[in-house]
Amino acid sequence: MALESNERPDKPITKFESMLKTDDVYFFDAEDFEDIVHHYLNNGKISLAKKGIKIGLQQHPCSIELKLLQVEVMVFENHLENAEKLLDELEMLDRNNEEIYIQRANIFSKKDNHAAAVSLLQKALELTTDSFDIYSLLGMEYLFMDDFKLAKESFMRCVEFDNEDYSSLYNVIYCFEFLEDYDGAIYYLNEYLDKNPYCQVAWHQLGKQYYEKRMFPEALTAFDFAIISDDTFIGAYFEKGKVLEKLGKYKEAIENYETTINIEDPTSHAFLRIGKCYEKLKNKEMAKYYFYQTVHEDPLLDKGWLAITNFYYNNKNYEKALYYINKALNIDGENPLYWKKCANINYALENYDQADFAYKQVVDLGNYELDTWLKWADVAHYNGDTLSALQILAQGREFYPKNLKIIYKSVGFNLIIKDFINARICLLDALKLDKKRKQLQLFNKQFPQYSNSEWINTILANYKKAS
C-alpha cells in the first residue's frame, strides 16, 4: 500500500530508510527522491543510492533528473556503454539539459579524452546560469591536460562564486606553484585576503608562498595571522615552526611544534622537527629522544630512521649508524641518498666490499655527485681492483670532464698499475687545466710515493719548457 508523503511527517531520508525496513511503500515527490539519491551519493552509499533510483523511477518513470542520476551511477561503476545509451534517449527528450553534457563529459574523461570532455563542459556552460560545478569540472579536466593556466582560471571562477570554496582555492594555488609563479600567488592571495581578512586557509597559503621565496619575516607574519584567525590551526603552527628554524630561532620553533602535539595527537613529523631543533641547539640527548619518538610513532617513516642514522654518524658511532640506515633502506630501497649514506658508513668502517656494492646502487639509481665517483674509486682500489677504480673515474669524468680531483687521482692509479702511457696523458690533461700547478697538491697528498719521483719531475720540467 502506498502512503502519501503527508501521512508521515518524517524527513525524506528517515522515511525512506524506514520504508526499506518494512513491507510498506511510501510515496515521495520526484524531488524528494533526488534529494535522497544525492544524499547517498555524497556519502558514498552507492547501493542505497541505486535503491532510491530504482524505487523513484517506479513511482516517477518519466523523471529525467532521476534518469540522469542513474547515468551518474553507471559512469561511477564504469558501465559507460549503458550510460551512453541512456543519455542518447534523454537527449531526444531534452536537448537543452546541461546535465546531459556534463555526464557525457564525465564519460569522455573516464576514457582519457579530456579535450572532448572540455568541449562538452563548455557546451553545458552555454545552457545554464548555475555554472559553479561546471567550472570546477573544467578545472579538473585542464589539470588532466597539464594546462595549468586554464585550470587556474577555472578554479578562480569557482572561488568568485563561493569565497569559502577552499578546495578550489587550494587548486588555484597549486596551479600557481606548478607554474612557479609565486609572485602571482602572493598577489592573488593578498587580493583575496583584502575581501576575506579572517580566512586562515588563505593566510596559511600566503605564508607558504613567502617561505618558497625565502621571505621569512613575511611568512612568519602570515602564519601569525592564520593562527589569529584560528588558534587551533595545526598547519599554521607547523609551518611557523619551519620558518623559525630558518631564522635560527630553534626554541621558539620547538614551542610551535609542541603546540601541534597539544592540539591533536602527536605526529611523527612534529617529533622529527623537534629532534632536528634540539640537534641544532647541541642538545644531543633531547635530539636522540625525539628521533626515537619519531620512529616509535611511525615505524615506516624512513626519514626518522635517517635522522637517527645521521645522529650516530655525526657522533662517529658507525656501527649503530649502519644498523639504522638499513632500517631506512628496508622501507625505501630505491632512494640513492640512503644508499650513499650506507656507502659512506661502510667506507668509514672499512667494509670495502659492502661500500663498493652500495656505491654501485647509488650510481644505478641516478646519483652522479662528484664525491660518489671519488669515494667509489677509492673503495675499488682498497679492494685491490685498481683497474676498476680507473674505470669508475673514467665514468665520473664524463660528468666532470675538467675536474682536477678526478684527473689527478687517475694519474696516481695509472702509476700504481704501471700504465705510464695513460698516466702521462692524464697528467698532461691536468696540467693544461692547472697551469700554475695550484692543485698539484691533490696528487702529492694522495700519492706521496710518486710526488717527487723522477718520472713526475721530468714531465713537469718538459711541460714547463714547452709552455
Note the pLDDT tens digit of each residue in 246-288: 999 999 999 999 999 999 988 999 999 999 999 999 999 999 9
CA 345 to chain centre: 28
State the Cα angle at 350 between 345 and 352, rounded to 5°: 90
Determine contact, residues 307/314, Cβ cutoff 8 Å. no
Distant-in-sequence, close-in-space partners of 396: CB < 8 Å, separation ≥ 6: 368, 370, 372, 373, 374, 377, 403, 406
What are the structural domains of the chain? 14-95 (1.25.40)
- From 376, 377, 456, select the one nearest 410 (Cα to Cα): 377
| Residue carrying the nine cell digits 524528494 | 32
Question: What would the pLDDT profile of 431-467 be if each residue is shown by its tens digit?
Answer: 999 888 888 999 999 999 998 888 888 888 887 776 6
pLDDT (tens digit, 9 = 90+) per residue, 258-267? 999 999 988 9
- Residue 86 CA to residue 57 CA, distance in Å, equals 14
Q: Is the predicted pLDDT of residue 21 greater than 70, yes or no?
A: yes
User: How far apart, in whole angstroms, are the C-alpha atoms of residue 356 and residue 378?
Assistant: 9
Q: What percent of the chain has pLDDT over 70?
A: 96
- Comparing 42 with 387, the larger pLDDT belongs to 387
H or E stretch at 3: strand 2-3
Task: Give the strand pairing for 25-26 and 2-3.
Answer: parallel
pLDDT of residue 342 exceeding 50, the answer is: yes
d(CA 433, CA 409): 15
**pLDDT tens track for 26-44:** 777 778 777 887 787 778 8
